[in-house]
């Protein structure tokens, strides 16, 4: 018994020494890791102290801690505010549509790119599709305004060429949301497909060869081999997207919307922006932002647990 205990202790010491030796070899990697950790601590965790103002009547002269508590008054007012309810409704609608369009298009795009046989043409298409991702929404919004302008836009030029009447797309409640979806998909489809293309490249060629020997054509291989192999990546990315379900695309909408389309285009993020920075209701906007993030966390945890009950794929 004594020998067994002594052996266990020696083994534990040996394991610790081995781990410490490996850690010393990778010390530069830990130094590199230190920079993003410091960034997270300063810009993501330290500001969480300010969330306290969501539960207070914030007075700038008194500061965050000395401002009086308000007994959840901001959260009560939130659900009696018609503008907030409208923004919440719009956020859910736009986010769900983004999830359908913006999540499925990259998968389809990756599958189609994978079927291109000419490597040079394939790389060219990929590179072109990545470019819009690196442009800010200020630039993209300017392009959208010019293309869909009722006076000088090419879309309205084609409409009038065929005898139609020019349409002010950005001021139309009917066309504003579809325009958001189209411009967002165009901007992000190439970049979002990178992970899927990387997963496809890891599929063993022998599986395709075996399927081909059994008479499978390219469509069959795409549907029955490539697509099922992407399920783990699709599941994880879907769960991560659900965590941002109440983020309807602040940068895009802020640069494209106007009071004429608030009824369909105003979302929680733009509502928080106006309440906090325009009306200077910092405590109320903090409460709305906290509610949005809480919903995202609850939704992510819930759906992750449901997914884990059926398979092993999940965020954790």
What tens digit of pLDDT does each residue of 107-161 get? 999 998 888 888 888 889 888 988 999 999 999 999 999 999 888 889 989 999 8
- CB within 8 Å of 116: residues ≥ 6 apart: 122, 125
pLDDT for 178: 92
Torsion, Cα of 206, 208, 210, 213 (10° steps): -130
Which residue has 């800010």 as its token pair?
136
pLDDT for 142: 92
Q: Among 31-40, 53-62, 218-227, 241-250, which stretch is predicted with the lowest mean pLDDT?
A: 241-250
> Distance between CA atoms of 57 and 73, rounded to whole angstroms?
9
pLDDT band per the 50, 70, 90 thresholds, residue 9: low
User: Mean per-residue pLDDT for 154-173?
Assistant: 89
Angle at 278 between CA 275 and CA 281, to 5 degrees: 40
- Greater pLDDT, 242 or 283: 283
pLDDT for 11: 66
> Distance between CA atoms of 192 and 195, rounded to whole angstroms?
7
User: Mean per-residue pLDDT for 212-237?
Assistant: 86
User: Mean per-residue pLDDT for 82-93?
Assistant: 91
User: Mean per-residue pLDDT for 9-14?
Assistant: 65
User: Mean per-residue pLDDT for 78-107?
Assistant: 89
Torsion, Cα of 28, 32, 37, 42 (10° steps): 120
> Distance between CA atoms of 54 and 290, rounded to whole angstroms?
8
- What are φ and ψ of residue 59, in 5° steps? -120, 120
Q: Of the segments 43-47, 87-91, 243-247, which one has the largest average pLDDT value?
A: 87-91
User: Counting Cβ atoms within 10 Å, is residue 47 exposed (0-12), middle (13-18) or buried (19+)?
Assistant: exposed
Per this entry, what is the length of the chain?
316
- 64, containing H or E segment: helix 63-66
Tokens of 22: 């490996």
Mean residue pLDDT across the chain: 85
pLDDT at 265 over 60: yes
Closest CA to 107 of 24, 4, 199: 199
Query: Count of alpha carbons within 13 Å of 194, Cβ hemisphere only?
Result: 9
pLDDT for 6: 62
User: Mean per-residue pLDDT for 79-85?
Assistant: 89
- Greater pLDDT, 39 or 315: 39
Residues 49, 29: contact at Cβ < 8 Å?
no
pLDDT for 70: 86
CA distance readout (Å), 82 to 49, 77, 79, 89? 29, 10, 8, 11
């Amino acid at each position: 018994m004594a020998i067994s205990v002594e052996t266990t202790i020696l083994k534990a010491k040996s394991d610790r020494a081995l781990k410490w030796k490996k850690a010393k070899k990778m010390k530069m990697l830990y130094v590199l890791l230190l920079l993003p950790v410091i960034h997270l601590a300063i810009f993501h965790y330290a500001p969480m102290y300010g969330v306290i103002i969501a539960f207070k009547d914030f007075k700038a002269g008194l500061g965050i801690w000395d401002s009086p508590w308000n007994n959840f008054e901001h959260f009560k007012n939130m659900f009696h505010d018609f503008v907030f309810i409208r923004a919440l409704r719009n956020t859910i609608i736009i986010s769900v549509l983004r999830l359908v369009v913006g999540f499925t298009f990259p998968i389809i795009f990756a599958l189609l790119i994978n079927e291109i046989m000419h490597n040079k043409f394939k790389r060219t298409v990929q590179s072109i599709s990545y470019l819009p991702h690196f442009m800010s929404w200020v630039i993209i919004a300017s392009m959208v305004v010019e293309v869909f302008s009722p006076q000088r836009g090419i879309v309205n030029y084609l409409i009038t060429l065929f005898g139609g009447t020019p349409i002010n797309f950005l001021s139309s409640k009917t066309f504003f949301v579809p325009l958001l979806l189209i411009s967002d998909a165009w901007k992000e489809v190439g970049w979002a497909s990178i992970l899927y293309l990387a997963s496809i490249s890891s599929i063993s060629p022998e599986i395709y060869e075996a399927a081909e020997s059994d008479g499978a054509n390219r469509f069959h291989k795409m549907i029955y081999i490539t697509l099922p192999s992407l399920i783990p990546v699709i599941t994880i990315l879907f769960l991560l997207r659900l965590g941002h379900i109440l983020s309807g695309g602040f940068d895009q909408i802020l640069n494209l919307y106007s009071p004429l389309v608030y009824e369909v285009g105003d979302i929680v993020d733009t509502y928080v922006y106006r309440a906090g920075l325009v009306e200077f209701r910092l405590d109320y906007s903090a409460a709305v932002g906290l509610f949005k993030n809480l919903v995202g966390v609850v939704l992510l945890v819930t759906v992750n647990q449901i997914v884990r009950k059926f398979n092993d794929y999940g965020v954790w």
